[in-house]
Amino acid sequence: MLSQRYNATLPGLLIDHDHWHPHPTASERDAWSAYPAPLRRAHIQRGEKASEYGWPVPTATFFLDFQRTGNRSRWQKQIRDTRRQTLADLLLAECFEGQGRFIDPIIDGIWATCEETFWGVPAHMSRQKAGVGLPDVEEPVVELFSAEAASLLAWTLYLLDEQLDEQSRLIADRIRLEIDRRILTPCLERDFNWMGFNNTGRRVNNWNPWIISNWLTCALIIETDIDRRTRLVSRAIEALDNFIDPYPHDGGCDEGPGYWNHAGGALFDCLEILHNASDGRIDVYDDPKIQEIGRFPYRTQIHENYFVNFADAAARISLPPALTFGYGKRINDADLMAIGAWSADRANILEEGLTDSLGRQLRSLTVIDELLGAGGRTPLPRSTWLSDIEVYCARDTAGTSSGLFVAGKGGNNEESHNHNDIGSYVVYIDGKPLIVDIGVEDYTAKTFGPDRYDIWTMNSSHHTLPTINGTQQAPGPEYLATDAAFSDDEGSTRFSCDIGSAYPDEAGVTSWNREVLFERGSTIIVEDTFELSRADSLEWNAMTPSSVRIEPGVVHLDEAPLELGGTSATGQILYDDAFLHVTLDTYPLAKVSFKRGNPWGDKLTRIRLVAKSVPATGSTRMVISR
């Protein structure tokens, strides 16, 4: 898309290095003083706290912690979440205040960052170079967080170039040297998997635009040679096309709404950087696919921070306010702008300050008055059908979370960050969770290793799916839904697909048609019609945060408190008592570390509806209602 349209004329499109001025520098005091006083005060206070940080030296044994234990959170928290955020807080505090009192801590942060052997996380390095416990300084790996660190230093140089040179010209030289050897030269000379130039048969995921947005920032700020700057941007555009071109035309993110921030959202970062650096001459916002990618988040919102979660996406997420608002503004979508403004209202930006990467915070400032004055709302469409990724959502009434809500998916078990969840569904009532997708725990070495699907949150027996003859769904592109279809009329929606192909041969499935019929204002009926080549055992699974009581033919689900406040939903599941009996498994969550916090209560319960006898052909239905 982009390379065909723009690479041939790229030298004439890009603003030259000395004249590209995307944001005011720290020396432009009038611009920084014009931002709202509460916002400036919040960031200055954040900088004062950041000034107390001591910049400890990361040790080799701490780096080896991931290889030895599989724990990746300890390193990421210390390096990315603390060190990088500290430098960003110091930098914005100095820009807002302009009195020089944060300069020395900023210099310490720059120097400490440049002294780090590797800017990324050990887990990502190991994925790029198998068996490596410590970083190879002669062959730097470009991954998510090394690219983020480089972008942070590039913006630091852009904003504080004059102030840093007053202290020592070697500071800016060191930044340029480290960014070039760790990011720019490797990206120009080597093919990393995330670039998509090596055809592995699998579509690139959010690594591509996430890294490229930082790569573009570094190239435009750091590189002064016209020819090399153009080559860097041109290659970045070619790599970005490897993300855009095969992306589903319906705009659906197969990694789930929780990953849109770094998939579609990072794509918007790239497009905005190119738009700005070309004075608007690079502009693809009229492309239908680009527009659909932007609309994905509000199409999958359930209620407030609850979004339809599949794959490794969390059940509760926060959308980046200015990014979402800005994307909506570019594609002229009032609903996307509205949910961005709604997110800003919830984030309390004036009092708490901005969050996210430094580049995004700077771009947020360009729309801050418009964003805070827009007045937000949640669109909550009546139904959504994304035919390419085979995800559907439906609710009783558009614009409100009151009533019943159901969502589910077809797809295949090779989607990025996938769980084995083909044919699964979730149910909420009045915006409260009733039947849920668990989500994902903190990442470890096992998360992306050969034993990934041994993790309870990722296998099909802990989703709303059948276990057939003792066999669960299998991972891989050949394990998929077939004949997926969705329809919506005035009073009901219907989703159907055959999930038999999601199970391996040992399951003995000839066909398994699943139909989810949503009668608005009334019931959700899940009906499975199956044909088996052998019939030993069958059970249906469902996970709930609600309290469970059993009567013959009825599973009562009573509200239970949730970790972050509020309660789960109250409802019931009607089932055929002559065919099925109920078994309950309880999962205490006190020691479960979810990736973005526990969205449920103190426990989850797995409801197992087990067949008393198994026919070779048959059907059963479950009726879910208030």
pLDDT in tens, 581-619: 999 999 999 999 898 889 999 999 999 999 999 999 999
Q: Is the pLDDT of residue 277 over 50?
A: yes
Q: Is the pLDDT of residue 87 over 70?
A: yes
Question: What distance in Å separates the CA atoms of residue 88 and residue 81, rounded to the nearest whole number?
Answer: 11
pLDDT in tens, 283-324: 999 999 999 999 999 999 999 999 999 999 999 999 999 999
Q: Is the pLDDT of residue 560 over 50?
A: yes
Nearest to 394 by CA among 512, 489, 515, 310: 489
In this prediction, what percent of the chain has a pLDDT beyond 70? 99
Please report, for residues 192, 241, 275, 282, 404, the alpha-carbon distance to residue 1 in angstroms, rounded to integers and kept in the order given.
21, 6, 15, 11, 40
DSSP string, 54-70: --PPPPHHHHTHHHHH-
pLDDT in tens, 105-141: 999 999 999 999 999 888 887 544 544 577 877 789 9
Please, is 37 exposed, middle or buried when counting C-beta atoms within 10 Å of its C-beta (0-12, 13-18, 19+)? Answer: exposed
- What is the model's pLDDT at position 336? 98
* CA-based end-to-end distance of the chain: 48
DSSP state of 415: S
pLDDT band at 74 (very low <50, low <70, confident <90, very high): confident
- What is the model's pLDDT at position 162? 96
CB 460 within 8 A of CB 413: no
CB atoms under 10 Å from CB of 255, counted, come to 22
| CA-based max dimension of the chain | 83
Is the whole-model pTM more than 0.85?
A: yes
- What is the model's pLDDT at position 551? 96
- What is the model's pLDDT at position 132? 56
* Ordered domains of the chain (ranges, CATH): 1-24+191-295 (no CATH), 35-146+162-187 (no CATH), 318-379 (no CATH), 383-625 (2.70.98.70)
CB 488 within 8 A of CB 385: yes
Q: Is the pLDDT of residue 249 over 90?
A: yes
CA torsion, points 215, 218, 221, 225, in degrees to nearest 10?
Answer: -80
Location of structure tokens 């004439």: 12
Please, is 228 exposed, middle or buried when counting C-beta atoms within 10 Å of its C-beta (0-12, 13-18, 19+)? Answer: middle
pLDDT in tens, 316-361: 999 999 999 999 999 999 999 999 999 999 999 999 999 999 999 9
Mean pLDDT of the chain: 95
Give the torsion sign (CA, 297, 300, 305, 309): negative
pLDDT in tens, 480-522: 999 999 999 989 999 999 999 999 999 999 999 999 999 999 9
